[in-house]
Amino acid sequence: MILDHIKNLYRYYEINPGLKIVNDFIKNNHLDKINITEKIRITDDVLIIPISGMQSDSAKKLLEAHREWIDIHCSVYGCDSIVFKNKSECILLETAYNDADDYMLFKDEYEGELKVPQNYFCIITPEMAHMAMCGNTEITKFVFKVRYLID
């Protein structure tokens, strides 16, 4: 997992070429001015999911994991709270892998918690099971989904 200020996203382009697409989109649209209310696809390998609402400590009861997509959680307003655990150590499968939506859920206890303040991002690769929105404050954020291995 990587946590950094949004202005530094360009430093991570080597991880995945989709990160440049995300950064260009943010620079061209100004993160706090993006007005979308539903998931949109930027390219075949990059999409955006807008999320706004109250966080909940009860979200900590499940961990989500992916196989094909990297999550980039970008806090626009408020501070996101993300719990996590290495996927290879998760053993309590709650929901089997859903290929169409690229996720599985685990009921394992999380090992750590990360705060993603306003104007920061967190890159989460498929090796990490996680659950966001685990705090107790209002949040507005975008999750950019980037295909893990772009050919």
Q: What is the DSSP letter of 17?
A: T
Dihedrals φ, ψ of 127, to 5°?
-75, -10
CATH number, residue 74: 2.60.120.370
Q: What is the pTM of this model?
A: 0.92
Q: In Å, how far are 30, 127, 150 from 101, measured between CA atoms?
A: 28, 17, 18
Round to whole Å and give the CA distance between 116 and 114.
6
For residue 85, give the nearest of 123, 111, 60, 65 by alpha carbon. Answer: 111
Per residue in 34-68, pLDDT (tens digit) is 777 788 899 999 999 999 999 888 888 999 999 99
Split the chain (151 residues) into runs of 10 and give each run's mean pLDDT. 96 94 90 78 94 87 95 96 97 96 96 96 97 93 88 48
Domain that holds residue 128: 2-33+40-147
Give the distance, in angstroms, between the CA of residue 53 and the centroid of all CA atoms in the same chain: 16
Total count of domains within the chain: 1
Question: Element (H or E) spanning 20, and its range?
Answer: helix 18-29
